């Protein structure tokens, strides 16, 4: 099994070097995907109607139902496994393939009734075709996990780029050809197929015929916990889509989708990098205390870089929407301001979740996810019923995130020795700098003439925000900011 045993001659020798080099290659790959995704979204927003965006959003949301069967714990089970790796990998691959085929058949039959239930029966055929991307996604779980376990991040990211770029380029080309929402669906399926082909090739691995149900059963408590957690996450991530679609309408869902996706694309790219690199790193750390020490070193860097990004998106929501999407999407401005802050909260909660998975201690984590799903459903339902407005829905989603953080601190963080005491000073510094940045950007926005071109306004606000954040840091917390920049530089350099 080459992916889990071979080693690159140029591979770094220390845990820190491996993590930083992995973070660099992953960051580059995700940045390329991020920029491509943003560019594709901007182009599609001008080629597709809000109604077509609503169909795509609902189809992708309903496709997530299949993710309840995706056995997300398979990745973690392979990455954290200590014995029987070859047999487990083959067993899980065939389980994924069989589950994928069965799920596609079920979703093909249920697509139209599900779409009709949520008020958009026209989305049914789109969902049926999109379900094939789920099959290919399942089949690449095992080769991707083998690459991640052996920390072959360059090969792993090659598969990511192949799948993502195929998807992004194809959907834009087909949209220009006039295929409407079908452009996104076809691009998605072809991208998933390309990702699978490159993943299994990069892993230099093929499944054999050995299937051990005993190994799968021994992992059942762990994998079923993660699958249940994924079910809760699916409800939490999609309940607002469903409620907006059924209670406010398809065009409103299209606008809300843009507001939600813009900050969360960035947040997902960041957390994907952290999860991909740190899960095997935490696993190799050994005992819980050593893992906690690594987390305490990682969190300040994560929040120090994440805060200005998401606070900045919130502050610059209006010029961002107007410049990249146009005035017809102005309804996304206010929910974007709120949801960008929610993405920042999710950045922290995900960092704790990764430690839970690395330690195979997921029961408390699942309880927290269940609470968040329930809080999101209740809050979004009230928002739609009382206000019937996507801004209120965004507020309900972020409120659920905040209450979840409090519960997570009690149930999970303390149990994993992830206290705030060791990181309180740098995190408090970054919060203060974010407040300073907010004041500077808001003041600048007020002082800018109303006739200022949107592109110029956005550039000026970004420069003012970056200058105030870093400049203020060097004035009042020079040592903290220097450590942040040093760590960021090491990641970029891969050293």
Separation between Cα atoms, residue 100 and residue 131, nearest integer Å: 9
Q: Are 373 and 233 in contact (CB under 8 A)?
A: yes
Report, in this order, helix, strand and coil percent for the chain, each rounded to 5.
85, 0, 15
Of 228, 141, 226, nearest to 192 by C-alpha is: 141
pLDDT at 6: 39
Separation between Cα atoms, residue 318 and residue 114, nearest integer Å: 35
What is the number of other CB atoms lying within 10 angstroms of the CB of residue 236? 23
The angle subtended at Cα 247 by Cα 241 and Cα 252, nearest 5°, is 60
Reported as a pLDDT band with limits 50, 70 and 90, residue 426 is: very high
Separation between Cα atoms, residue 273 and residue 229, nearest integer Å: 20
Q: Is 356's pLDDT higher than 80?
A: yes
Q: Is 13's pLDDT higher than 60?
A: no
Instruction: Report how many helices (DSSP H) and strands (DSSP E) the chain contains, helices first.
Output: 20, 0
Q: Is 3's pLDDT higher than 70?
A: no
What is the number of other CB atoms lying within 10 angstroms of the CB of residue 460? 17
DSSP state of 414: T
Over residues 91-141, the pLDDT tens digits come to 889 988 888 898 889 888 888 887 787 777 778 888 888 889 888 988 998
> Positive or negative CA dihedral for 261, 267, 270, 271?
negative
Separation between Cα atoms, residue 281 and residue 283, nearest integer Å: 5
Reported as a pLDDT band with limits 50, 70 and 90, residue 8 is: very low
pLDDT at 291: 92
Separation between Cα atoms, residue 203 and residue 103, nearest integer Å: 26
pLDDT at 10: 43
Over residues 375-413, the pLDDT tens digits come to 999 999 999 999 999 999 999 999 999 999 999 999 999
The three-class DSSP label of residue 54 is helix
Segment 57-61 shows an average pLDDT of 73
Over residues 90-104, the pLDDT tens digits come to 888 998 888 889 888
Tokens of 495: 């050293």
pLDDT at 358: 87
Segment 310-330 shows an average pLDDT of 94
Q: Is 447's pLDDT higher than 90?
A: yes
Reported as a pLDDT band with limits 50, 70 and 90, residue 71 is: low
pLDDT at 398: 97
Helix axes 333-358, 288-315, angle to 10 degrees: 170
Q: 304-308: list long-range contacts, CB under 8 Å, 24+ apart.
A: 304/426, 304/430, 304/484, 305/484, 305/488, 306/267, 306/270, 306/344, 306/347, 307/344, 307/430, 307/431, 307/433, 307/434, 308/433, 308/434, 308/437, 308/465, 308/466, 308/469
Reported as a pLDDT band with limits 50, 70 and 90, residue 469 is: very high
Least confident of 38-42, 248-252, 290-294: 38-42
Instruction: Give Dmax (Cα) for the chain.
Output: 70
| C-alpha separations of 142 from 4, 20, 150 in Å | 12, 24, 12
């Amino acid at each position: 099994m080459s992916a889990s045993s071979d080693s690159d001659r140029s591979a770094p020798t220390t845990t820190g070097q491996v993590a930083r080099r992995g973070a660099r290659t992953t960051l580059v790959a995700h940045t390329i995907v991020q920029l491509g995704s943003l560019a594709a979204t901007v182009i599609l927003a001008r080629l597709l109607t809000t109604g077509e965006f609503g169909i795509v959003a609902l189809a992708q949301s309903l496709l997530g139902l299949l993710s309840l069967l995706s056995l997300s714990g398979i990745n973690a089970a392979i990455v954290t496994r200590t014995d029987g790796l070859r047999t487990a990998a083959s067993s899980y691959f065939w389980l994924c393939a069989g589950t994928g085929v069965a799920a596609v058949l079920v979703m093909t039959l249920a697509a139209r009734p599900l779409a009709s239930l949520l008020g958009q029966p026209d989305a049914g055929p789109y969902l049926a075709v999109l379900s094939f991307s789920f099959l290919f996604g399942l089949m690449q779980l095992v080769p991707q996990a083998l690459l991640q376990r052996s920390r072959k991040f360059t090969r792993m990211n090659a598969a990511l780029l192949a799948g993502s770029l195929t998807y992004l380029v194809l959907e834009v080309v087909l949209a220009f050809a006039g295929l409407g929402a079908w452009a996104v669906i076809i691009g998605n399926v072809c991208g998933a197929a390309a990702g699978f082909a490159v993943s299994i090739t990069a892993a230099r691995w093929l499944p054999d015929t050995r299937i051990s149900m005993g190994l799968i059963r021994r992992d059942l408590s762990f994998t079923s916990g993660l699958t249940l957690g994924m079910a809760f996450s699916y409800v939490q991530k999609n309940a607002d889509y469903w409620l907006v679609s059924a209670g406010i309408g398809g065009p409103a869902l299209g606008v809300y989708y843009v507001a939600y996706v813009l900050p969360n694309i960035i947040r997902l790219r960041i957390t994907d990098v952290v999860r991909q690199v740190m899960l095997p790193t935490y696993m190799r750390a050994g005992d819980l205390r050593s893992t906690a020490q690594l987390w305490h070193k990682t969190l300040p860097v994560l929040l120090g870089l994440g805060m200005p990004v998401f606070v900045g998106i919130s502050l610059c929501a209006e010029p961002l929407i107007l410049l990249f999407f146009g005035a017809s999407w102005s309804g996304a401005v206010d929910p974007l301001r709120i949801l960008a802050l929610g993405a920042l909260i999710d950045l922290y909660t995900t960092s704790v979740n990764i430690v839970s998975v690395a330690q195979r201690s997921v029961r408390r984590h699942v309880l927290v996810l269940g609470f968040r799903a329930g809080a999101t459903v209740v809050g979004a339902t009230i928002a739609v019923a009382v206000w019937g407005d996507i801004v209120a829905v965004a507020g309900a989603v972020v409120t659920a995130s905040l209450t979840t953080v409090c519960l997570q601190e009690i149930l999970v963080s303390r149990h994993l020795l992830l206290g705030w005491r060791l990181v309180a000073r740098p995190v408090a510094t970054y919060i203060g700098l974010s407040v300073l940045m907010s004041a500077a950007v808001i003041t600048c926005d007020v002082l800018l003439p109303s006739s200022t071109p949107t592109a110029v306004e956005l550039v000026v606000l970004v420069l003012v925000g970056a200058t105030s954040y870093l400049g203020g840091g060097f004035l009042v917390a020079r040592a903290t900011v220097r450590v942040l920049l040093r760590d960021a530089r090491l990641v970029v350099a891969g050293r």
